[in-house]
């Protein structure tokens, strides 16, 4: 899941270390180990899988969730509407007649965007399963 956080901004210090400034004004250095564009699969309002690119995302392996900057998204042309228990993210699109939105749901005091989890299907033969389960050769 991705958690939108309207108070997150990214700044780069003159020593090339990333500085993350949180909504409460606290700053943390050296949390981000990299920066780049991230493509994430999500479900749109029709329940179809679509892909969104988050530009200039920070790679912070110590965070347990992905944090989404509402401010950065709206500066790039997205529209985000929040109500008491849910929200809607409307990414910037060229054709507004075909606009889709992404639902944002609330858990506790945070809002989340559900991402599509990828899995890998591994096909094994009966012989491979037999050996994997600790049985001798057939």
Residue 102, judged by CB atoms within 10 A of its CB (0-12, 13-18, 19+), counts as buried
Locate the domains of the chain by residue range.
2-132
Q: Identify which of 92, 86, 110 has the alpha carbon closest to the alpha carbon of residue 7.
A: 110
Question: pLDDT tens digits, the chain, 138 residues: what are they?
Answer: 555 544 444 433 333 344 555 555 666 666 778 888 888 888 777 878 878 777 888 787 777 777 788 888 888 888 999 998 899 988 877 655 556 788 888 888 888 887 776 555 667 777 777 777 776 665
Label each residue of 73-117 as H, E or C.
HHHCCCEEEECCCEEEEECCCCCHHHCCCEEEEEECCEEEECECC
pTM of the model: 0.56
Q: Which two tokens stand for residue 29?
A: 């250095």
N-term to C-term CA, the chain: 44
């Amino acid at each position: 899941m991705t958690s939108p956080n309207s108070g997150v901004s990214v700044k780069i210090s003159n020593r090339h270390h990333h500085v993350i400034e949180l909504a409460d004004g606290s700053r943390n250095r050296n949390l981000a180990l990299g920066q780049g564009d991230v493509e994430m699969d999500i479900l749109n309002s029709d329940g179809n899988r679509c892909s969104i690119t988050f530009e200039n995302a920070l790679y912070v392996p110590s965070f347990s969730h992905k944090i989404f900057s509402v401010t950065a998204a709206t500066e790039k042309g997205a529209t985000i509407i929040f109500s008491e228990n849910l929200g809607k993210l409307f990414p910037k699109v060229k054709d507004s007649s075909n606009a889709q939105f992404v639902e944002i749901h609330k858990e506790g005091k945070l809002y989340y965007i559900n991402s599509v989890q990828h899995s890998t299907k591994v096909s094994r033969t009966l012989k491979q399963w037999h050996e994997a389960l600790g049985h001798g050769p057939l």
